[in-house]
Chains A and B, each alone.
Chain A
């Protein structure tokens, strides 16, 4: 599959990465603003700043702004991650130019009146609570918290209710002003038009932005051997996550990490070992999966499952055994070959989804990863069983592994003992 997007640095340093897909009815735009919750002066700041962009601008009052989106037929989301804020739009393809103009306005002219900030804060606190209530969302969030204790990377992107409450319009304004001065801006755009036309549209509306690209390196907090986070919840089954600190997108180990994720059971991988062992062979769980979130220079590999309360120790013990085996014995060459093929196919299919492709392109440009699909795949094809084992050895160490358990967790000592026994 050939997928070579055009990348151009347009006026004032904005990078645009565009991909033309002729059969699409719609276009997708991912406007990536290179500052995320890691740089929050108060937890939740990036998230709230970006949420405010979808509430009003200095020209468009609340409801005027939302009516504009509806008139465009656009679905627009404003989210934040640990390393960037994202405005993402899907729009009928004939409206792509208007949509870019609209996104440019959201980025350049946010407004933070006291009363509107107060309303958005209430929404954000609800988002925090909802994440806590949802067993699957909570498992990833808890893995970050357990794996990066005392580090901004471990804090929820939404912040905590008490920190959200502290966010004032002045803090948001200052954060936004700094962002527009310092943050890198990348636009990923996928639509049926030729790439040159898509880039031209992006250039037309973003030319007046002052951007001084910079790169923030993440500072790791002090490591704590086998950190265990327990959370008591009134739920029918308990969810646990094993979190592993990894390297980032541009690191040499990244391709091997991707295959490790696939081997264990990444999203949509029903042949992952965790899925096979915990679900298919033992019927212990509905979901047993992994998620690899790689940032620029570090990342998190989380493996998680939800099981009956009384089965947590059995399932956790099995999960850890499977993970640690990666370090102790090589994955057979035949299996690695299958993983390479699987990864190529899954990525190829994923990138045919316009909004996923737009986001993948923009985030890889921002994080220093590869966006030329052939080159990306040649890195995957170069992964050997030995590379997987070496990568596992490098990352599966006591100072890089943590555990979070939410629901009706067993005793802390029991959990810590299992971690020690299985990992060391």
Chain B
């Protein structure tokens, strides 16, 4: 069992400490519920661009890297469709200073005009990577298609046109509006007491100010099935299959995780068997299973030779139909998939402090609280009957999106019958 302490400031700011006795390093994450979903289409990519600008410092501290280095902190940040999280891992003795630095940079960022223009080149370079890497290209397009018509439909990075169009004043306004402490979460994993961390926050006046910048959440109505073909002159075709889940209840989330293990991430998963062990279609499958406030996503992505696309698409649609119509046949796969999901979750938590803190912040932003023990217990206690009901819902045709990127032959995608 891991002990977790939570403190809520009067303005809504949440501070959570995961106590890890005798741990030498500390993970710190400061997150906002800001990302692709809080942008309008004209400034798509602005949340991610802003994340870069935060590293450019304040009027008094120009070099954030040097400031963090002085306290031995290794820092990074991540922008998702529904969150932006700033993270650090540092020696235990410098944790309070490191948190203080993040709070300062996040409230006093100067977003200098000249730096802002220079950074545009860096953002464009990152955008080109997302276009050149088939796996990321497929994933970007899956998000747009799977959540079409909903704020979750975002590539996060934006497009070449929107990145070029975002103005300095757009950025300042966005920063001032959204980076409000009332909707933020601070997560700390390490050998620390919460009282000392509360003091650090209270010393930064800006972090105790009142007011709110609330994100509105609305029900997601799936509009699939959809098949997207992106023609590229690559030697391989990247295929991504994604499904959405209706909500983020503990039960549905557990079902999505176990379905992920059963369908593709487990070593004995159905797609691994059909596409790697029995067939000769691909070498590995990448699986993403994430739950957000209004929906969840399960994504499997892999590369195949162009000549095999049609056959693989047929296998994918047959597998999804089978899961929906004959779920009971998969009862014997259920326990192995559950063990795999629990094992993966345990090892995921044990990775770097930085990652542990980022996961804690995501969980709290998405679900208002986070307990690793509860999450493992929700996997352990899910019955096959509950799983079956959820799988039937998740595998409905309107919840499907298939994206093919590469040298896709004419008609290859027509084999999809959901």
Partner-B contacts on A (CB < 8 A) = 1, 22-26, 28, 54-55, 62-63, 65-67, 69-76, 90-92, 95, 118-119, 122-124, 126-127, 129-130, 132-136, 234-237, 268, 270-271, 279-287, 306-308, 338, 341-342, 345-346, 348-350, 352-355
Contact = CB atoms under 8 A, between A and B. Distances in A.
A345 B74 contact: yes
Contacts of A270: 55, 65, 75
Given A123-B280, A130-B236, A67 B268 contact: yes
A135 B66 contact: no
Nearest to B344: A75
Given A118-B280, A349-B74, 15 more contacts: A23-B20, A25-B349, A63-B268, A70-B337, A75-B343, A90-B347, A123-B276, A127-B284, A132-B235, A237-B128, A268-B76, A271-B69, A306-B125, A338-B69, A345-B90
Contacts of B282: 123, 126
Contact of A73 (B118, B278, B340): B340
Contact of B24 (A72, A124, A284, A352): A352
Contacts of B304: 126
Given A67-B336, A123-B283, A286-B122, A306 B129 contact: yes
Contacts of A283: 118-122
Contacts of A307: 125
- Specify which of B120, B121, B267 lies most central, judged by the most chain A CB atoms within 10 Å of its CB: B267
A323 B61 CA distance: 28
- Specify which of B72, B135, B279 lies most central, judged by the most chain A CB atoms within 10 Å of its CB: B72
Contacts of B121: 282-285
Interface string B322-338: 00000000000001110
Given A73-B340, A236-B128, A129 B276 contact: no
B89 A66 contact: no
Contacts of A287: 125, 129
Nearest to B71: A345
Contact of B261 (A70, A129, A282, A353): A70
A22 B350 contact: no
B21 interface: yes
23 contacts: A66-B277, A70-B268, A73-B343, A73-B346, A126-B303, A133-B134, A237-B132, A268-B76, A271-B65, A280-B118, A283-B121, A285-B122, A286-B123, A286-B129, A338-B69, A342-B69, A342-B72, A345-B91, A349-B90, A349-B354, A352-B353, A354-B350, A355-B351
Contacts of B173: none
Contacts, number: 197
Given A133-B134, A235-B132, A236-B132, A73 B344 contact: yes
Q: How large is the interface on B (under 10, 10 to 19, 20 to 34, 35 or more residues)?
A: 35 or more
A350 B405 CA distance: 36
A55 B277 contact: yes
A70 B340 contact: yes
A91 to B, nearest CB: 6
Contacts of A23: 20-23
A308 B123 CA distance: 12
Closest 8 A/B residue pairs (Cβ): A73-B343, A283-B121, A123-B283, A66-B267, A122-B280, A66-B268, A286-B125, A286-B126
Nearest to B73: A345
A82 B236 CA distance: 26
A92 B75 CA distance: 28
Contact of A119 (B118, B126, B276, B354): B276
Contact of A135 (B120, B133, B343): B133
Given A70-B267, A70-B339, A76-B267, A25 B122 contact: no
A66 B272 contact: yes
- Specify which of B23, B55, B134, B344 lies most central, judged by the most chain A CB atoms within 10 Å of its CB: B344
Contact of B352 (A54, A119, A279, A352): A352
B372 to A, nearest CB: 8
A163 B118 CA distance: 46
B245 to A, nearest CB: 22
A276 to B, nearest CB: 8
A349 B352 contact: yes
B33 interface: no
A123 B127 CA distance: 29
B64 to A, nearest CB: 9
A405 to B, nearest CB: 15
Contacts of A72: 339, 343
B255 interface: no
B295 interface: no
- Specify which of B135, B303, B351 lies most central, judged by the most chain A CB atoms within 10 Å of its CB: B351
Contact of A130 (B281, B283, B347): B283
Nearest to A350: B352
B266 interface: yes
B185 interface: no
Given A71-B336, A75-B347, A342-B69, A348 B24 contact: yes
A268 B23 CA distance: 21
Interface string B55-73: 1000000000110010010
B55 A353 contact: no
Contacts of B347: 25-26, 28, 75, 90-92, 354-355
Given A70-B336, A307-B125, A271 B66 contact: yes
A277 B351 CA distance: 32
Contacts of B89: 349
Nearest to B336: A70
Contacts of B23: 23, 352
Contact of B91 (A271, A280, A348): A348
Contacts of B351: 353, 355
Interface in B14-60: 20-25, 55
Given A22-B22, A126-B236, A237-B128, A346 B303 contact: no
Interface in B82-127: 89-91, 118-123, 125-126
- Specify which of B25, B281, B350 lies most central, judged by the most chain A CB atoms within 10 Å of its CB: B350
A25 B267 contact: no
A135 B132 contact: yes
A22 to B, nearest CB: 6
Interface string B249-282: 0000000000001000011100011001111111
B73 to A, nearest CB: 8
A135 B129 contact: yes
Given A63-B268, A66-B272, A136 B235 contact: no
Contacts of A271: 65-66, 69
A284 B125 CA distance: 8
A22 B279 CA distance: 43
Contacts of A352: 23-25, 352-353
- Specify which of B76, B120, B132, B349 lies most central, judged by the most chain A CB atoms within 10 Å of its CB: B132
Given A24-B350, A285-B122, A1 B91 contact: yes
B377 interface: no
B131 interface: yes
Contacts of A65: 267
